[in-house]
Structures are given as C-alpha cells and as structure tokens.
Chains A and B, each alone.
Chain A
Amino acid sequence: MTSVIFRAVAPFLTSLMVLFSIFVLLRGHNEPGGGFIGGLIAVSALAIYGIACGVETVRRAIYIHPMAISGAGLFAATIAGLISIAARVPFMTGLWIYPSVLGVEIPLSTVTLFDCGVYLVVVGAISSIALSLEERGGE
C-alpha cells in the first residue's frame, strides 16, 4: 500500500488495537469479550500493519513465529486445566488466588490463564494464515 497517510497512521492504529484487544481479553471474564474475540482484534491489528508496511516488517516486529505463539497458547490452556490435579478437583475447575501487589488485590485464576491461552492460539493461528495470504497477494 503506497498511501502516505495510511502508512503514517498504521503503527499508532496497530498499537491501539493491540492494547484494546488485551482490554477485551481481560474484560471477558464477567462481561462480553474474551480470548477469542480479543485474539481476532489483535490479528486485525497485525493485518493492518502488514498491509501498510509489508509482511516482513510484521514478522520482524512480533519476533516469534506465529505458529510458535499458538503452540504456547495451546500449552498454556492445557496447563490451566491440569493445575486442578494439585487441588484434587476435576479437570478444568476454576481456581483462584488473590495475591496483593503494592496493596492492591489482584484476582488471578486458571480461567484467566485458559483465556490467555485461547487468545494466543487465535493470534498465532489466524495471523499465520493472514500473513501468508498477504505474502502471496503481494506477488
């Protein structure tokens, strides 16, 4: 894409969308949102960046190969289910801890870990498809 305006705006747009995707991911526990939709937003951010600045730039920017990201996500989701072995409750039971950091109580749970795993799987898998399609489209 040769538009100067688009290329100038794309980095800001991308960073904003990635930030928003993380917001949607974390909001997803009790309100609309979650890992899947958050992941899709992040992928669209990467796709926009790819359209503006080229696929190579995106690959360099995310540093890790997209498939490895989705592998890590799948691993995290599986581990989130397996943690309940230690608590002697069935597979995938939600477990919570409330550590307090700097006087603020932060609720952490295996559910959140699972959702982050879904987010990473979606980001990795869909962006790897999108990037390879963009690469071919540019030929």
Chain B
Amino acid sequence: MAASTPSPADLSAALVLEPVASADWLVILPVAWCLAIGALLVMLRRQIDWHPYIAVLGLAGLVLIDVLLLRHVLASGPVTMVMGRWLPPFGIAFTVDLTGALFALTASVVALAGAIYSLADINDSGRRYGFYPFLMLLMAGVSGAFLTGDVFNLYVWFEVLLISSFGLIVLGSEREQIDGAVKYGFLNLVATTLFLITTGYLYASFGTLNMADIARKAEGLSGTAPLMTLTALFVLAFGMKAAAFPVNFWLPASYHTPRVVVSALFAGLLTKVGIYALIRITVMLLPLEREQLSFVIAVAGALTMLVGAFGALAQSDFRRMLGYLVVSGIGSILAGVAVGGPGGIGGAIFYALHSMLVMTALYFASGVAAKLGGSFSLASLAGLYRRHAGFAALTLMLCFAVSGLPPFSGFWPKVMLVKAALDIGAWWLAAALLVTGFLTTVVTGRFFLLAYWRDRADTTDTPHSVTISPAALLPLTALTMLVLAIGLYPELLLSTIQSAAAGLGEPSAYLNSVFPGGAP
C-alpha cells in the first residue's frame, strides 16, 4: 500500500521487511494458543463434557510450546517478535529471555497439573459456569505477562489474568467465596491502578514503554528524571500483587475460599507474576534505583517471611496455613531481589520457580486430605497416615521442600539466598531466612503430626471407605516427583538460572534482540 505513495519512504526504518523464521513464532504462540483454545471453549458452551479434555490437551500443548521456546532461547539467546511488524520502540514487542521462558514453562506445568486435578474437583455446575475457559484465559494472561517486552502490554496482561481470576474465585458463589472475593478484588484492583499510574509516569519520563529501550536510557536519565519515585511506586504496586508485607493481608483472607484447584493455581501463578514483574522492572530496567531501595526491599522481605511463618503457626485450617506459607515464600524472593547480584537474583528466580511447584502441590494435598478426612480443620483432621501411607509420604516430601530441607527443591535456592546475603554482609537477612526456614519446619511438622500421625478419636466410620481419585493423585505425585528431581539433580537448572540472572543484570543480549542494528 505504502509503495504507491509518490515519495518512497525508507520502510526498513519502521517495519520488519525480512521474512520471520518459523522458530520465532514460539514467542507469541503460547498466548495465541491459550486465547484460541479459550475462545473455542466459550463457543462450545453446550458441550461441557468435552471441556476438560480440550483444556487438558490444550495445556499439554502449551507445555510443549514452552519447552520448545525454552530450547530455542537456550540455543539462540533472547528472541523478539514485534506486533504488526512495526519496529520497536514504536511497535509492541514480545521479547523472551531465559527468565521469561523459565517462568512461562513452570507456569504451564502448574496449569496442566491443575487441569488434571480439576477432573476430580470441578463438578458439572463449575464446568457450566465456565471454569475451563477462565483457566485458558488466565493462562493467556500469565503467559503474556511473562513473555511481553513492553510495560503497558504487561499492564494489559495483568488485567487479563485479573479478570479471569475474578471469574475463578467466585466459582460456586458460596458466602465465604463472596467474602474472600470482595477483599481479593478491591485490593488487586487498587494494585493494578497503582501500576497504571506508574506506567503513565514512566512514559512521561522516558517517552517510551519498550523495556529494552527503557533499560538503555535509564542510566542517562537517573540524574534528571524522578526515577526513584517510579521505582518506589513499582515496588509498592508489584509488592501488593505479590502479597509482600505490609500489603499482604488480602492473600490469607481470600486464598482459602475458592475451590481447591483454584487456590492451587492462584498460589502457583498469580503472586509469582507480581514477583516476575518486580524482578524484570527493578533488576533489568532500573538497576541503580533498586540498589538504593535495596534496604527497604530487604526489610519488607524479612518482615514478609516472618509474618508469613508466624501467621502459618497460628492457623488451625490447612488451607489458611498454606496461604501464609505462600506469603512467607514471597518474603524469601524479595530478600533475593534486595541483595541483587547474580547470586541474589538467581536465588530469587529459583525460589520463585520452586514455590510455584511446591505451593500448587501443597494445595492439591490439602484437597486430597480434606476428601479423606472430611475437613480442612486441623482440629478434626487426623489419622491420614493410617489411611493412606503413600499420600502421607508425598505430603511429607512437600513439607520438607517448603521448609527448605534437602534433598528437595527448596534447599538450593535457600542456600543461594543465604550465601548471597552473607556475601554482602547482610547477616540479619541471612538470619531471617534461616529463622524462617526453622519456623516453617515447625509449622509443617506440627501440621503433619496432627493431621497425619495423630490417631483418629472416633473409629466409628470405616477407615478405608474413601479412596483418592487418580485424577487428583496423578498431578500431586508428578509435581512432588518434579520437586524431588530438582532437589537431587539441580545442576542443569542451576546453570540455566545463573545465566538467566546474568542476562537480567547485563541485558545486552536482550537489547540486541530488540534492536538488532544497535541504537536507532
């Protein structure tokens, strides 16, 4: 079209003209795939019997796409695709580096596990209400947030996943759920509005929203633009999304109200998206300001850890205890962000990935335990070990993992974080990490003692009357085995995470991928 204008413009300055390699499509495919499957499920609203199978197949496809994406990024570095072939910084770019690919892959694994578990947990009315379409749209939002290379686009994906999560949290419309959803909804909306304010200021200061462009310009602007304000607002907004102290109270108030599988997905995905955005923006885009704010982030992180651990200690409900453990994990990740450097950031990324897997699995375990024992309350749960020793073993492994004991996946990130904290002389942060680990061990130990080893007071009902559905046991076992495998053979993941953290600290490869010809 443009070729017909009288004065031929230099199109190569504005548009991608060379054909795109098919492998680069992997960048956009996770989002487009989830949107397409989600739309298909919305259209097939009468065939609710097909929904679970389409969703499980779709999410298995998503895992495959994300594996291929990670392989592609490992082989050829960060990959960029621009929308509508407009070159950045004007076009919206999707840029995937190792961090984004790792998070996206883990999220898709968690979602697949959730979809399989939902076969046992979501009944017909939940399906009719649209659990599976919401799940696919949630995954579109989560994948988009992990893969995008544009700050406003990140905001849009946040909103996509937020609106789907609203749909999921009220699934069932019980009184408890409405109560939890009110707190969840309002607090999260305020957090995203804060994010939007900050995005507006960001554009006013930089004149661009492309992450690579901002990362390039941030150093030059640090004297003149109010970047400190920006960073503080970003930390507050993402801290609120991630449930960091002192803005964490919405999480334990709402995460125990929805269906078990919904809680599990939220615990695995939503807070980690906040953490990912925090890492991406503060570490890669505004590193100097993060350095200055590191003390504040460290204090917030330490308090988050301790509040989470003490909160968990005070709970008598399995799921509410898990909500506090999610908060406690967020504190450890924040500690890593505060410490910085390859060790701290690597530890934070590793801890986030570990937490996604473990917290989801623990929520699955809570669902299974409630099915076997008839309640989530620690006062009435008892004797689970007698009933199902295999399930008890799985839960024990997860308890070890969440406490950070070897040989499970929680051990290595904790070692990295403590070492990184000691290396910069923040002994109190290292102490907070270790004390939290100890407290978490007490929490899980007490819980295991009460719910699993304690004998049942009433022996009236037959102990083997309830069996665990294989659809619930399969994802739980698979995630636990994954946790164990990461704990036993961490080398491959560790080296990948270390290069991911190095790529965030020194984003020249990321910049080259967005601006192949250097500065425009």
A: which residues have CB within 8 A of B?
A: 65, 67-68, 70-75, 78-79, 81-82, 85, 88-94, 96
Chosen A-B contacts, 5 in total, with CB atoms closer than 8 Å, are: A65-B45, A68-B42, A68-B45, A78-B35, A88-B22
With contacts A71-B40, A78-B39 known, is A93 near B45, CB below 8 A?
Answer: no
Known: A67-B45, A68-B45, A82-B32. A88 touches B20 (CB 8 A): yes
* Cα of A65 to Cα of B81 in the assembled complex, Å: 36
Residues on the A chain within 8 Å of B41, using CB: 71
How close is B421's CB to chain A, nearest CB, in angstroms? Answer: 42
Q: Is the CB of A90 within 8 A of B83?
A: yes
Interface centre among B42, B130, B133 (most CB of A within 10 A): B42
A sample of 19 more A-B contacts (CB under 8 A), given A81-B28, A88-B19, is: A65-B45, A68-B42, A68-B43, A70-B42, A71-B39, A71-B42, A73-B39, A78-B35, A79-B36, A81-B32, A89-B85, A90-B82, A90-B85, A91-B83, A91-B84, A91-B94, A92-B83, A93-B84, A93-B85
Q: Residues on B close to A: CB < 8 A?
A: 1, 16, 19-20, 22, 25, 28, 32, 35-36, 38-43, 45, 81-85, 94, 130, 133
Taking CB as reference atom, which chain B residue is nearest A94? B84
Residues of B within 8 A of A74 (CB): 35, 38-39, 42
Residues in B whose Cβ lies below 8 Å from that of A78:
32, 35-36, 39
How near does chain A come to B71, taking the closest CB pair, in angstroms?
19
Between A and B, how many residue pairs show CB distances below 8 Å? 64
3 shortest A-B CB distances, which residue pairs? A71-B42, A74-B39, A75-B39
A-chain residues with CB within 8 Å of residue B43 when the two chains form the complex: 68, 71-72, 75
Q: CB-nearest residue of chain B relative to A73?
A: B39
Given A65-B45, A78-B35, A82-B32, decide whether A92 and B84 contact each other with a Cβ distance below 8 A: yes
CB <8 Å contact, A85 and B25: yes
Give Cα distance in the complex from A131 to B133, angstroms. Answer: 21
Tell me the interface secondary structure of chain A in the complex: helix
Nearest-neighbor residue (CB-CB) of A117 within chain B:
B39
In the bound complex, CA of A121 to CA of B433 (Å): 48
The residue on A at minimum CB distance from B94 is A91
Closest beta carbon of chain A to B381's beta carbon, Å = 39
Question: In the complex, which residues of chain A have a beta carbon less than 8 angstroms from the beta carbon of B16?
Answer: 89-90
Cα of A88 to Cα of B19 in the assembled complex, Å: 5
Closest chain A residue to B35, Cβ basis: A78
CA distance A53 to B40 in the complex (A): 32
Q: Complex: how many Å from CA A87 to CA B84?
A: 12
Q: How far is B35's CA from A65's CA once the two chains are assembled, in angstroms?
A: 19
Name which residue of chain A comes closest to B82, CB basis: A90
- A85, closest chain B residue (CB): B25
Chain B residue at smallest Cβ distance from A65: B45
Q: From residue B308, how far is it (CB to closest CB) to chain A in Å?
A: 38
B168 to chain A, nearest CB (A): 16
**Which of A72, A78, A88 has the most C-beta atoms of chain B within 10 angstroms of its own C-beta?**
A78
Q: How far is the CB of A131 from chain B (nearest CB, A)?
A: 15
- Residue of A70, A88, A91, A96 with most partner-chain B CB within 10 A: A91
Contact B28 A91 (CB under 8 A): yes
Q: Kindly state the separation between the CA atoms of A107 and B448 in the bound complex, as whole angstroms.
A: 68
CB A135 to nearest CB in B, in angstroms, measures 17
* A residues less than 8 Å from B81 (CB atoms): 90-91
Min CB–CB distance A82 → chain B (angstroms): 6
A91-B85 Cα distance, complex, nearest whole Å: 7
Q: Which residues of B contact A65 (CB under 8 A)?
A: 45
CB–CB A89/B83 < 8 A:
no
Bound form: Cα–Cα A91–B16 in Å: 11
- In the assembled complex, the CB of A21 is this many whole angstroms from the nearest CB of chain B, namely 22
A96 touching B39, Cβ below 8 Å: no
Nearest A residue to B19, CB-CB: A88
In the bound complex, residues from chain A placing their C-beta under 8 Å from that of B40 are: 71, 75
CB distance from B126 to the nearest CB of A (A): 16
Report A118 CB to chain B, min CB distance, Å: 13
Instruction: Give chain B nearest CB distance to A50 CB in angstroms.
Output: 20
Which residues of chain B are within 8 angstroms of A71 by Cβ–Cβ distance? 39-43, 45, 133
Q: B82 — which chain A residues lie within 8 A by C-beta?
A: 90
Distance between Cα atoms of A79 and B41 in the complex (Å): 15
CA distance A94 to B85 in the complex (A): 9
**B19 partner residues in chain A, CB cutoff 8 A:** 88-89
Return B448 CB to nearest CB of chain A, in Å.
44
A72→B39 contact, CB < 8 A: yes
Residue numbers in B under 8 Å from A96 (CB-CB): 1
- A47 and B204 CA atoms in complex are apart in Å by 40
Q: How far is the CA of A70 from the CA of B45 in the complex (A)?
A: 11
Name the residue on A nearest B83 (C-beta).
A92
Q: How far is the CA of A90 from the CA of B84 in the complex (A)?
A: 6
A67 and B25 contact, Cβ closer than 8 Å, known pairs A78-B32, A90-B85? no
Query: How far is it, in angstroms, between the C-alpha of A96 and the C-alpha of B2 when the chains are bound?
Result: 13
B-chain residues with CB within 8 Å of residue A79 when the two chains form the complex: 36
